[in-house]
Amino acid sequence: MEATAAATKDEAGDVCVICLSSVTERAITAPCNHYTFDFLCLVSWLQERSTCPLCKSEVTGVQYDFRSPSDYKNYAVRSTRPPPNPPTNTLYRQSRPRLPRHASRRPYPPPTPDIALLRRRHVYRQKLFSLHVGSNRISRYRNLTPEMVTTSPDLQSRARMWIRRELRVFSFLHTDPEGTPSDEATTSSNAEFLLTYIVSILKTVDIKASHGHAEDLLQEFLGRENTRLFLHELNAWLRSPFTKLEDWDRNVQYRERLPEEFDREGRAIATEKPRRRWSRSRSPTLTRTAEWRERDAARRHAPD
């Protein structure tokens, strides 16, 4: 605790002009170069309006994740200014000359169809929330607070590991607004930005609070429904005792089994189609069985 206090003092004197507490993760506005902001505060501010909180000039980028004065990351800020000619009509789009894309001629290679990733996509498509596991000595699950994340480099690196893979689920993060795959630089900068952003959120707010602040902060990037599920799953992973994604994948439970096989489009292949053979009158039983299975699994994982 003392060490943390000393470390913060080094950078101190600096108070974030947005939240008025001392700066913990510095962010600098470009091009105006103002620096008395917390990363999370500044980015949340810029989502509302892309102007500097201090000098009101247009901000085009944020420098963050400083390892040294010359080693940091850059995030391109999307302008909130209304465009002079809103490109609502298709004519505008068609007549617009295509930009030369020499650097990105070769489209960003689609991620290799990794079965674990396809399953994660399936989870989002089907809106499957992993079943709750109670925290106790046997399950070794524990409940999480922002303080735990702030003080544990271990939790932070586990969070990063999981988030890095989970963000690959959302192909829209890897495409530019025209729908063509964006170049590698943009792609990795989007994902890197979100990674840092989410870890900052974890350190600041309680992600368990449903319909909470974390959800508001993230939904702009992932959409409301995805965000809700994403935060649920992230919390489940962080609460778990697992240190490897493979172990979590093997143990996490949903109300239905995740598929084993996928087609070329990445859609799940049903290995058997029991529904076809069953008459309509059987289907309520099916639902009840699924419910029962869910309740049973929940019971098995509940605290004693």
Residues near Zn ion (CB under 5 A) are 16, 18-19, 32, 34, 38, 41, 52, 54-55
- Which is nearer to Zn ion, 154 or 206 (by Cβ)? 206
299 membership: H or E segment, kind and range: helix 283-300
**Which tokens belong to 230?**
């994403």
As measured in angstroms, the least distance from the Cβ of 29 to Zn ion is 5
Q: Could you say which DSSP state residue 262 is in?
A: B
- Which is nearer to Zn ion, 23 or 123 (by Cβ)? 23
As measured in angstroms, the least distance from the Cβ of 267 to Zn ion is 44
- Counting other chains too, the contacts that 218-221 makes at CB distance below 8 Å and 24 or more residues apart are 220/47, 221/173, 221/194, 221/197
Distance, CA of 90 to CA of 272 (rounded, Å):
44
- Which is nearer to Zn ion, 204 or 227 (by Cβ)? 204
As measured in angstroms, the least distance from the Cβ of 35 to Zn ion is 9
Do residues 244 and 255 touch, judged by C-beta distance below 8 A? Answer: no
Could you tell me which residues come within 8 angstroms of residue 7 by beta carbon, excluding any fewer than 6 positions away? Answer: none
As measured in angstroms, the least distance from the Cβ of 214 to Zn ion is 16
As measured in angstroms, the least distance from the Cβ of 46 to Zn ion is 11
- Which is nearer to Zn ion, 200 or 235 (by Cβ)? 200
Cis peptide before 86 (omega within 30 of 0): no
- Which is nearer to Zn ion, 19 or 173 (by Cβ)? 19
As measured in angstroms, the least distance from the Cβ of 48 to Zn ion is 14
| Ramachandran assignment for 13, one of left (phi > 0), alpha (psi -120 to 50 degrees), beta (any other) | left
Residue type, 9: K
Q: Report the number of secondary-structure helices (H) and strands (E) in the chain.
A: 12, 4
As measured in angstroms, the least distance from the Cβ of 207 to Zn ion is 19
- Which is nearer to Zn ion, 53 or 181 (by Cβ)? 53
Distance, CA of 198 to CA of 193 (rounded, Å):
9
Q: Write the CA distances from 173 to 114, 122, 163, 188, integer angstroms.
A: 18, 17, 13, 9
- Which is nearer to Zn ion, 196 or 240 (by Cβ)? 196
